Structures are given as structure tokens and as C-alpha cells.
Structure 1
Amino acid sequence: MDAFHDTKANAYQQPQHALMVVDNRQLQVWNGPNWSPHHATTWADSVVGQYTPATRSPSSSASSPQEPERTKRKRVFKKRKATHTIRKEQKTVLEKEIDALQAKLEDIKFQALVQHGEAPKSYHDQAVENAVLRESIQDQHLVMAQMRALLSGHTQHQMSGVRPMETKICLSADRVERRTVLHALRATKLREANRFLQARCCGIKQTTPYFQEERYETAEGDFCITRFEIIPLHGVKGGIRAVFDAVLQAAFNVEIIISETSGNITVREDDDMNDDCVSQMRLVSETDRGVLLENNLVHFVEYSRGESEQNGKRCFAVTATDFVDKDALYPYRPLERVRRDATGAMVVSYVDSAKKNEKTEEDPVIVITRWSCARIRHTGLNISHEAMLDIRNSAIRSQGTFLNCVRQTLGLPVNPT
């Protein structure tokens, strides 16, 4: 065996009783009878070769002063959040989303309840609720304004046609035939007047005063005044009959009333005053500026006693007024006079007092429901603008004069016109 094999064999032997430090490792070296320093060195080199990488030479194991020492780069690790912290943050975000969705849901519920009129005060504070309700009310006012505009436009453009309760009346020169024609129209005119006023005052509280008036000019140049009013009369002695008699008295003395209130001299051309159910009023007035106005009206009346006439509770009275279209006995004179037509209806009835109870006896409330439409026809006469304004203002004042005469006859306060 040569020296190489001998050295290798000695290197793999397990030395006894000897220690040796090689490359910072504590090694046990053989300390037998044949031990020598040469054997220890050879054995240590062989062992160090086993623990040294194959690519590293013995010379590279020692640090060289020419090679710079390698600096080890420290790895930075990001601090990881705890699981309970992450879940807590997620819970906070979800709770905020739930609160926002809940508030939105409450708003939707409140809007729905407001539309159905069932919104309780527990949904929002008073300020928010008032704002929502105010906006809803304003929207309703806008809708009502649009409806009124449509009705007013319809009235203004269609007034040249047939007006409410208007009937074409043509009278001949024969007085018997004239009376026959008017009596034949009486039942129809009174029925239409009663039905129209019942529909017009539907939904309106009749124990409180109500007044509405419209003034406009039609496409043909006619000036119209439409008026509707509800007048409760408290403390009337005599009931419906007393009010009805006052209405008849004002109708029969209409020329005197016009002369006293307007200052215009008014005369009555007809002399048919014998019939209490139907009467004709042919009136001619002269203004301060010398303009002549003419009316040709027919007045229909009815008084129903009902089951009991005590306090007027079962009684009512109806009147209807319409103009004559053609009259052979009293023809219109468009070349001399301005024509003024009128259509109207009035119902006098009893209404239970709102203050009435079992302990107190309240006086019966007599209610006058009246609708009228006066029209001043367009004329081709040479009349100044100021004179036409006087005629229009006189027509406006005369609308309230009639009822003031009724009040005066009953001993009630007179309203300013």
C-alpha cells in the first residue's frame, strides 16, 4: 500500500484521546501508541475537506485581505395586522353602510306614507315633516292653478256659445201667445236653475259666506261679468216666505233700484205686472254721458211649501232669469242703444246651523245661493272709451245692488257694493 492510501486509511480511523480545533470546530484526534503530529495534521485536513463545499478551495476558506468582506442585506418584513383588528375594521365599515341604508329606507317609507296621507310624526322630526308636507301642498296648488286656468280659458272662449241655463226665447206681438210661450218655458227653466245651483255649490260649506266673480272680454268684444255667491241670513223672521217676498219686491222695482244706485235714469217699457209666476222686464237706462242701454229679461219664480211651512224648514224658492232673443212687440234697437243681456238663477233654502244642539234653539239659517252672468254686447255705435268704462262699472255695481235691496227689506245690514 502506497503512502496515499495509507494516509486515507489513517484519516478515516477514529482517533482516541485527542482534541483538535479546525475551522472553529472541536475535533477528537487519535492519541494511540502510533500517534504522531504528522498523523494528526493529515487526519484533520481530510476531515475539513469533508465539511468544505466542493466549489470552495482550501485557500478560499481563509479570509483574504485583498477581497472585501461581503455585507449581508437584511430582509425587511412588513408588520402584519392581527386578525381581530381586521375584523373590527370591517365591522365598523359595514355598520356605517347599514346606517346609511336604513336612513334611506326611512325616507322612502315616509314619502310613500305622505302620498297616502298616513305619515306618522315618528318618522322624522317636525321640521323635515313640515318641509315635505309643504312641498306636497304646493304641488297640489300648482295642479289646481292649471285646472283653473283651463276652466277660465274655456269660459272666455266659449261664452259666445250657449251659456248655462240659457234658452232661446222668441216672442210675438200677440200678448196671449207671449204669455203661453213663457208659461211653457217656466217648468224647464226652474228645473235647470235648481239643478245647476245644486251642482255649483256641491262641496262648499253653505253656512259661511262665499263669493266669486270673473270679469273678461270675449273674442267678439262682449264684456261679461260672472258672479257666484252664497249668502247665509241669520235671524230672519218669517222664514223662506219672507225672503221670497223680498226677492219678488226687488225684481218688480228693479228700475227704481237701478236709478237710485247708479244715478242713471231707468224706465220700464212693458206693463205686464199681473202674473206672479212669470214677468217680463223691458228696461231702458241713460248714463251720465248720454248713452242708452236696453234690457229685455224674463223672470221665472216658484215657491214650494213642502211638508211644513213652520220656520221655513221644508220650504224653498227658486228663481230663474233669462234674456229674450227676439221680441216683435219690444224689438232691440242696435243703432240707438247698447244691448245688455243677463242670465241668472237663485235658490232660497233652509240649512241647519252648525252651532245647533239639543240644549239650545238656534234661529233657522236661510241661505241664498245665486249665480248670474251679465253681458254687455259689442256695439258699432260711436262711443268713447270712457263712456264704455262707465257702462261696465255700472253693470258691476248693479250685481250687488239687487241683494242689498233684499237685505234692506228684511231689516238686515247692507253690504257695501
Structure 2
Amino acid sequence: MDRCWGISATADEGSSTARKTMEYSTVPRALGKRHASIIPVGLDEVLESENAAANITRLGSSEEATAKPRRTRKHRKSTHVARKEEKERLLNEMAILNAQLESLKQQAMASMDHVDQETTRSIQVGRKLRYTVHRNQQKFGEVASIMSEISLCNAQAGSPLHDKITLKRDQESRRKLLRELKASKISKGEHFLRLRRPNTNLRSICDEGRRFEMGNGDFFSERLSITQLKDARSVKQIYDLLVFYYSNIEISISEKIGHITVRLDDDAGSKSIIQNRLRSTTIDDLKVESNTIIFAQFYEQREGDYGVIVLDYVEDDEKYPYQRSECLRKDVVAVMEVRECPQSTKDDGKTTVVLTRWVQNKLRRPEFSVSIKHWNGLCEKMDMFGKTVQLSLAEDLYIEALGLGMPGN
């Protein structure tokens, strides 16, 4: 039957159609709507082609699924659960650390209980030493207190270097008395300085002193100093500078302290025995007077040159009496030594000049009234008379270093 018209086909037509069908079935065709309407293909062939295409599609999909598996989604914990777990972990860790700490404490206590005998003995010795040092410091404090009382008693009794000096009016007797006193004053000054100077190396700087008011109202000061003069060329140079300074002390006092000072005496008979009868006027218009004798001696020896200078005040002077109703009186007792000292402990031959000074000043309470302010000002500046020595030495050493030389030489 003809499929187009529904008419039965003849035998020849049927065989012809069968051949064509077999021919087309041997060649695979991609079917579509347009081809289906044009190419005369059997229904079974069309269905088989569609099934084959579907199978190919499913096979490709399964292969893709096998090649790229889908990633599974992880389960996410909630915040409170995560924090709870973290808290539990930290608590467990803290418990472990506390247990370790207790174990370490027990080990430390056990080690302290088993200290060896040597360590125990060292601890005991250290305790005894600290106790002994503490007791000695207390004793030293008591000794210092006693020494202060002794110093006060000595000041009231007078200086160990002081000798009562009374000068007459005539010039010859004055000079004779001072010449007779010189040897004993120099010897006494050397002996006192050996006892008073600390048994330390002269290469070390030393400066100590005390100041106090005595029972009668006089003001007292005492000072010991050791100074290294590294710029000095020799002992003789410093000795000459000191002698020159005390021969012209009124100039230094006027320049460096500001007290206008004049010299009242006119006796310059010897360079090794000098009298300084001075009167100073302060800024507050107060007058201060002093009468001091300077004894100087220089020694040249194989062991080393050295010089000694001793100062002592005059108790009574008929030619230049004290003006107690007009002036405040200042008394000075001092001893100075200049000698060489090695610069270091090494025996390299290098030396330096050392100046040792011990000075005792006393400012007597005047018979007339003085305000507390002015009195305290004088007491504060009293030690400056001694400090001008070092200032003058430094200036003169600088001048000589420039090659200008010392005045008067």
C-alpha cells in the first residue's frame, strides 16, 4: 500500500520500496523536522535513531558526573557551640599549667630544704658580717659625735698650732721674736699635718671641714684639703707662688671677694717671715681686721723637695692694736705643705705637685651690735679667704704657661 495515498501497492512497487528502505537504513541519518517531511524513512528507524541519541546523551551526562563529582557542603558550627568548646579547651589547659606550677613549687621547696652545708655556712657568715658592719657604723657615728664635741672643746681651748704672740712697738724686738719662733712653728706645723692628714694616697682629692657656732657667740670653721696641681712645673714654683700670694694678700681679697682691703703694716724685712695686718670693708660697710704672721720654709732633699708654710694670729700688738669698738676680729691658724707625688702606682717616673692645706678660722663676736643678716653673710664668706689661694694659684699657673712670668720676679 502506498503510504502517501493509502492505496495498495503492487508487487513491483512493494519490492522497490523495500529495497529503498534497506538502502536508507544502512546509512545513518540525522533526523529533523524538515528531513522527516522530505526523506521517506520508516517509523521504526526514526524511533531507533531517537533512542540512540538519548542513550548517547545519558552516557555523556554520566561520564561528566563521574569526572566532576559534586562538592559536599560542610556542616558549620554555631557561634555559641564554638565558644563553649574553646572555653573547655582553655580550662583544661589552665588546669594543666596550675598542676605544673604546683609541681615546680614543691621542687623549689624541696631544693631549699636540701641546701648543702657550704651554702648554709656562707649565709651565716654573711649575716654575721652585716651585723658587724652595722654595729661598727653605729660606733663610728658615736665616735663622730665625740669628735665633734672634741673639736668644739679644742676650738674653745685654742688651736694646737697656736702660740700666744705679743709684739712690742720697736721694730728690732718684733723681728727678733718672730725669728726665734720660726723654727718651732715650722716643726710643730709639720708634725701636726702628719697626724692630721689621712693615711691615704696623695693622688686622691680630699676636702673635708666643719663649721659651728661656739658658746660665746664666736663662729668657728675648720677645713682640710688635698689638691693636685698637674700644671705645675715644680714644687719650688708653687712654693714661690704661695709666698708671693701671702705677701700681697690684700690685692686678692679685694679682687676676688669684693672686700676692700688695705695693709696697715710696713715691715717687709724677710720673705720667709711676713706680717699681714689687714683691715677690710665689706659691701655692707662692716669692717673686719686681722693680724697674721706667715712662717715659710723650703727644703731641697734627695727624696724630693717640699715646702712648709705656717700661719698664726697675733694675740696682742702694741704697734697695731685691734680696734674692737669699730672692727670685727678674725683669727687664722693654718699650715700648708707642697711636695711631689707619683702620678700613678706605676713606677714611670712621672710626678705631680700636691698642695695640702689645713685652715682654722674664727670670727669673733663684736662688742657692737650687728644684724643677723650681716653676721650670717660674714660667716658664709669666711672660708672664701682660703679659697682665694687656689684661685690665685690657678691664675698664676695659667699666666706662666703663656710665658708672661710671675709678677715681681
TM range (shorter): 0.5 to 0.7
8 Å CA contact 1:230, 1:369 repeated in 2? yes
- AA matched with 2:195: A
The residue number in structure 2 matching 1:135 is: 131
Secondary structure at the counterpart of residue 156 of structure 2: coil
1:290 offset after TM fit, Å? 1.1
Answering whether residue 334 of structure 2 is matched by residue 324 of structure 1, we say no
The residue number in structure 2 matching 1:371 is: 358
The residue number in structure 2 matching 1:247 is: 242
2:151 aligned residue (147, 155, 160): 155
1:287 offset after TM fit, Å? 0.9
- AA matched with 1:345: V
Answering whether residue 203 of structure 2 is matched by residue 207 of structure 1, we say yes
The residue number in structure 1 matching 2:258 is: 263
1:335 aligned residue (325, 329, 334): 325
The residue number in structure 2 matching 1:356 is: 346
1:235 offset after TM fit, Å? 4.2
Deviation sequence 1:204-262 (CA, Å, 0-9, x none): 2211000111001111111011001111222421x110110111121112111111122
Looking at structure 1, the residues matched to 154 and 238 of structure 2 have their Cα atoms a distance apart, in angstroms, of 34
Deviation sequence 1:18-52 (CA, Å, 0-9, x none): xxxxxxxxxxxxxxxxxxxxxxxxxxxxxxxxxxx
The residue number in structure 2 matching 1:288 is: 283
- AA matched with 1:263: G
Closer, same or farther: CA 361–164 of 1 in aligned 2, 3 Å = same
The residue number in structure 2 matching 1:303 is: 298
2:162 aligned residue (163, 166, 176): 166
Closer, same or farther: CA 234–356 of 1 in aligned 2, 3 Å = farther
Secondary structure at the counterpart of residue 411 of structure 1: helix
The residue number in structure 1 matching 2:25 is: none
- AA matched with 2:334: G
- AA matched with 2:364: R
The residue number in structure 1 matching 2:376 is: 389
The residue number in structure 2 matching 1:315 is: 305
8 Å CA contact 2:205, 2:228 repeated in 1? yes
- AA matched with 1:400: K
8 Å CA contact 2:231, 2:397 repeated in 1? no
1:30-45 matched pairs, under 5 angstroms? none
The residue number in structure 1 matching 2:173 is: 177
Looking at structure 1, the residues matched to 136 and 273 of structure 2 have their Cα atoms a distance apart, in angstroms, of 46
8 Å CA contact 2:298, 2:307 repeated in 1? yes
- AA matched with 2:385: S
Identity across aligned pairs (percent)?
24
- Tell which deviates more after alignment, 183-192 or 348-357: 348-357
Unaligned runs of 5+ in 2: 1-112, 400-409
Aligned residues: 286
8 Å CA contact 2:164, 2:314 repeated in 1? yes
8 Å CA contact 1:342, 1:374 repeated in 2? yes
Answer 1 or 2: which has greater helix percent: 2
1:183 offset after TM fit, Å? 0.5
Deviation sequence 1:160-212 (CA, Å, 0-9, x none): 21312100000000011100000000000000000000111242221100011
Secondary structure at the counterpart of residue 159 of structure 1: helix
The residue number in structure 2 matching 1:274 is: 269
TM-score, length basis structure 1 = 0.65
8 Å CA contact 2:342, 2:349 repeated in 1? no
Deviation sequence 1:4-29 (CA, Å, 0-9, x none): xxxxxxxxxxxxxxxxxxxxxxxxxx
Aligned residues: CA RMSD:
2.2
Unaligned runs of 5+ in 1: 1-99, 107-121, 308-312, 413-417
Looking at structure 1, the residues matched to 251 and 266 of structure 2 have their Cα atoms a distance apart, in angstroms, of 15
